[in-house]
Amino acid sequence: MKSFDAIVIGGGQAGPFLAARMVEKGMKVALIERKFLGGTCVNAGCMPTKTLVASARAAYVARNSAVYGVNIPGEIAIDMKVVRARAETVTMNARNGLIGWFAGMDGMTVIYGHARFEDPKTVSVNGETLTAPRIFLNVGARPVIPDLPGINDIDYLTSTSIIHLDTLPRHLAVIGGSYIGLEFAQMYRRFGAEVSVIEHGPKLASREDEDISDAIADVLRSEGIDIHTGVSDIAFARSSDRITVATDSARIDASHVLIATGRKPNTDDLGLDAAGVISDKHGYITVDDRLATNVDGIWALGDCNGHGAFTHTSYNDFEIAAANLLDGADRKVSSRILAYALYIDPPLGRVGMTEKQARASGRKIMISTRPMSRVGRANERGETKGFMKVIADAETKKILGAAILGIEGDEVIHGIIDAMNAGTTYPALQWSVPIHPTVSELIPTVLGDLKPV
C-alpha cells in the first residue's frame, strides 16, 4: 500500500489546482485520472467547442462581409478537417501544458487509471492500493442518453464525439434545446449544414425568462435553424443513408443526430458505498457549504457535487477548498453568486436571479430592459440582435440579477457580476463613467431606467 498526504481523483478544473497547492505546502499528493488531464473543459467542452464557435463565426462574417463593403468573390467553403484540427490543437496544447506542469512538480504523482474506494481512506487503481487521510473527488460528468425508441439503432453523436467530426453533416438533428445543443446547432448551421432542434419543453433554454428564451429562438430562426418545441414523442429509424427522426409533430430526415439532453455525474463506478459517501437520486455527491461529504476526510468538487456545472464554478470549488484547508479561511459555496454564458452569437451573459425567480421571492423588485438596437456600439458593428435586462431590489437597491443577450454580452455581464459581488447598489453604479463607445457604457443607462413592477 502506498501512502500519501492527499489523493485527488479526477483531473478536471478543481482537482489538479488543489493538488498543486498542496504540493506547494510540502504535501505528497497522488492525482488519479482515468483518461485525460484537464477534464471536460480542456478535452470535450469549453476549449474545443469555443474554438469551433470561432471558426463558425469566421464563416458567418465572411458570408455577410458585403454588408460592410468587403466583397469576397466565390463561394465561402468550409474545410472541416482544418476546423477539427484547429480545435484539437487548442485542446492538446492545454492538456500537454498540464502534463508538463505536473511532471516538473516534486511531490506530485500522476496515475492514469480508474480509481475505486476500498474504504474511506483507501482507493485502488491499476491493481495498486493507495491511502491518504484526505481524498478529493473531482470526477466530472458525462452526457445523458435518454431511453428513446430506436436510439440504439442509430450512431448518435454526443457533445464529446461531435467535436471529432471532420466532415460536414447534411442535416444535423439536435435533440435538446438547452445550452450545449444550441451552441452546436448554430455552429453547424454556420458551417453549412441544415439543422433542426427538437426540445421536449415549451421553450428553448428553459432556465431563462420567457423573453430571453423567445429572443434566443428568434436569433436561431433568423439563421435558418428549424426549431420544434413542446415535443412529447421522439423515435428514430435508420436506413442506408439517413436517420429518420419522427416526433408527434414532424418527420425529419437527418444525416446525423446529436443527443444533448443533459449530463450526469461520473459517480456510479467509484465505490462510494465502500466509503459510506452519500449521493442523491441523480448521483450527485452530497456536500456541505464547504464541500465536505458526510464522511470525514472526503470532499467532492466540481460537476459531481451538483453545485454548478461550469468550469468557473469548478475552479471556484478549488478556491474554496484551498482557502479553507490551507489558508485558514472560512469560505462557503452559498456565498457564490452564480453567473454563466450561452455561447451562441450573439452570446447571452447571465448572473443572479431571473425575473421569474425574483418575483417568486416576494421582494419588491424593479426591472429595466433596453434593446441592443439602441446601443451605439452594436449599431456600429451591425450586430443589434438581443437586449439587456436588469432586476433590482426596490428596497435594498441591490442588483438581483441581469441578462445581456447581445454583442459581447458574455463580457459586458462582468460589470454586473463585479457590482453584485461587491455589494454595490445600483444608484452607486449609475455614477460610474464608462468608456465610449462600448457596450458596457449602457449599464448606467439601463440602471437609470429601472421601474417598479
**Interval 286-305 mean pLDDT:** 98
pLDDT of residue 186: 98
Q: Of how many residues is the chain composed?
A: 453
Domain 151-256, what architecture? 3-Layer(bba) Sandwich (3.50)
Helix axes 311-326, 15-24, angle to 10 degrees: 30
- Whether the CA torsion 6, 10, 15, 21 is positive or negative: it is positive
Cell 489558508 -> residue:
327
pLDDT, average across residues 247-275? 96
Q: What is the pLDDT of residue 156?
A: 97
* Mean pLDDT of the region 319-342: 98
Backbone Cα Rg of the chain: 24
Quick count: other Cβ atoms within 10 Å of Cβ 346? 24
pLDDT tens for each residue of 74-94: 999 999 999 999 999 999 999
Same fold, 2-142+264-335 and 339-452: no
Report the chain's terminal Cα–Cα distance, integer Å. Answer: 64
Cα diameter, the chain? 70
Hey, what CATH topology would domain 2-142+264-335 get?
Answer: FAD/NAD(P)-binding domain (3.50.50)
pLDDT tens-digit series, residues 415-451: 999 999 999 999 999 999 999 999 999 999 999 999 9
Euclidean distance between CA atoms 305 and 289, whole angstroms: 11
pLDDT at 249: 87
What local confidence, expressed as pLDDT, does residue 312 receive? 96
- How far, in Å, CA of 303 to CA of 122, rounded? 23
- Output the pLDDT for position 309: 87
For 368-412, what is each residue's pLDDT tens digit?
A: 999 999 999 999 999 999 999 999 999 999 999 999 999 999 999
- Residues annotated as part of the active site: 436
Q: What percent of the chain has pLDDT over 90?
A: 99
Residue 65 pLDDT > 90, yes or no?
yes
Mean pLDDT of the chain: 97
The answer to whether the bond into 133 is cis (omega within 30° of 0) is no
pLDDT at 240: 83
What pLDDT shows up at residue 260? 98
Sorted by where each begins, the domain ranges of the chain are: 2-142+264-335, 151-256, 339-452
CA distance 239 to 450: 56
CATH fold for domain 339-452: Enolase-like; domain 1 (3.30.390)
With beta carbons less than 8 A apart as the criterion, state whether 192 and 295 touch.
no
Confidence of residue 241 (pLDDT cuts 50, 70, 90): confident
Mean pLDDT of 32-57: 96
